[in-house]
C-alpha cells in the first residue's frame, strides 16, 4: 500500500501555548491540522499532504495559509470566507498535563461542509482522508450529513478514510448525541485511531481490549487504540496485537501527542510499512511532541530519517 495524496479535514485555530509566567507562544494548531503538519514534515515530500479547512480573509488567516504553504502542505484545499475568522485557544498546564480554554464561536471552519460541491472537489484524488470527532462536532447536523456524503463519494473513488473519534465534551450536547452521531462515521472508516480514555468516557468500555471488541463490529480494517503511556492495542482485520509504549523522557506538554501519534502511524502506512513498524513510528513521533510546548514539535527535529521512513 502506498498513498500519494493525504488530506486531513478539520479546524485549525490560533494557539497560545504557555512558556512560563505570563508569557505565551502564538502558533496554529488543531487536532487534524497537527496530524497533517507532522505528516508533511515526516514524509518530507514523499507524498502530498493537504489540510482541508476554511479560514477567514483577515491578516491572521493570511499568516496561517502562508505558514502552512511554507511548511510544505497543500494550500489549494484551504477555502476562505469574508464573514468569519479563525478560532483561538489557550493551553493551561498543571505540570505536563493540559487543559484548554476556547474562543471558537466565529470559527470559519464551521462552514467547511456547507457546500457539497466544493467539499467534494477538495477531497478529489485523495488516497487517504483523515478526520476526527472534533471535525464533526463543530458542524451543524445538516453539514454532518454533507460531510458523510462527500466521504462516501471519495471512498467510492478509491480513497481510504481514517477517523479519530477525539471526544471533547464541550462541543457536544451530551454523551447521547455523540453515541448517535459518531457510529456512522466510524462505520465509513477504513482506519480507526481512538484513545481509550475517550472511548471509556463515551461508551463505558472497561479496557482497551473491550474498545477493540466493540469497534471490530463497526470497522473491518485497522483499529489502533491509544492509551497514553499504556500499551497500544491493535486489530488489523480482526488480528489483534499489543505494542508496549516506552517511557518518555523530558516531558513538557502533553498537548497534541495523540495527533502526532496519528501522523506517525498514517505516514508509515502511506509508505507501506506494516502495523508494528507503523505503531513504533507513531510512538516515536508522539514522544518527541511531548518535549515541546504546544501541539507541534520543532520541525528541525523532524524528517523521514527520524522515524525510519526512508
Taking the CB of residue 85, how many other CB atoms lie within 10 A of it? Answer: 18
Taking the CB of residue 227, how many other CB atoms lie within 10 A of it? Answer: 18
Residues 86/55, Cβ–Cβ less than 8 Å? yes
Catalytic residue among 31, 227, 253, 259: 259
- 259 given a catalytic annotation: yes
Is 164 buried (19+), middle (13-18) or exposed (0-12) by CB count in 10 A? buried
Residues 54/31, Cβ–Cβ less than 8 Å? no
Pairing between β-strand 191-192 and β-strand 232-236 as defined by DSSP bridges: unpaired
Q: Among all residues, which ones are annotated catalytic?
A: 259
Amino acid at each position: 500500500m502506498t498513498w500519494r495524496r493525504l488530506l486531513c479535514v478539520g479546524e485549525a485555530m490560533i494557539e497560545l501555548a504557555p512558556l512560563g509566567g505570563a508569557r505565551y507562544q502564538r502558533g496554529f494548531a488543531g487536532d487534524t491540522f497537527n496530524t497533517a503538519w507532522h505528516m508533511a514534515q515526516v514524509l518530507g515530500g514523499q507524498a502530498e499532504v493537504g489540510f482541508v479547512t476554511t479560514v477567514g480573509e483577515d491578516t491572521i488567516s493570511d499568516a496561517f495559509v502562508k505558514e502552512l504553504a511554507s511548511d510544505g502542505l497543500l494550500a489549494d484545499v484551504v477555502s476562505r470566507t469574508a464573514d468569519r475568522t479563525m478560532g483561538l485557544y489557550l493551553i493551561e498546564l498543571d505540570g505536563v498535563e493540559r487543559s484548554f480554554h476556547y474562543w471558537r464561536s466565529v470559527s470559519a471552519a464551521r462552514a467547511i461542509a456547507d457546500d457539497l460541491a466544493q467539499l467534494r472537489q477538495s477531497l478529489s484524488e485523495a488516497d487517504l482522508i483523515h478526520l476526527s470527532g472534533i471535525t464533526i462536532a463543530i458542524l451543524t447536523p445538516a453539514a454532518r450529513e454533507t460531510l458523510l456524503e462527500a466521504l462516501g463519494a471519495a471512498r467510492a473513488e478509491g480513497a481510504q478514510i481514517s477517523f479519530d473519534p477525539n471526544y471533547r465534551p464541550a462541543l457536544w450536547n451530551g454523551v447521547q448525541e455523540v453515541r448517535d452521531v459518531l457510529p456512522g462515521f466510524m462505520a465509513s472508516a477504513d482506519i480507526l485511531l481512538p484513545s481509550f480514555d475517550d472511548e471509556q468516557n463515551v461508551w463505558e468500555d472497561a479496557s482497551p481490549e473491550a474498545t477493540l471488541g466493540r469497534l471490530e463490529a463497526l470497522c473491518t480494517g485497522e483499529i489502533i487504540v491509544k492509551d497514553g503511556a499504556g500499551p497500544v492495542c491493535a486489530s488489523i482485520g480482526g488480528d489483534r496485537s499489543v505494542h508496549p509504549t516506552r517511557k518518555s523522557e523530558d516531558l513538557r506538554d502533553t498537548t497534541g501527542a495523540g495527533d502526532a501519534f496519528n501522523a506517525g502511524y498514517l505516514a508509515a502506512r502511506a509508505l507501506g510499512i506494516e502495523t508494528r513498524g507503523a505503531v513504533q513510528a507513531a510512538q516515536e513521533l508522539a514522544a518527541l511532541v511531548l518535549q515541546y510546548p504546544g501541539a507541534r514539535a520543532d520541525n528541525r527535529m523532524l524528517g523521514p530519517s527520524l522515524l525510519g521512513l526512508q
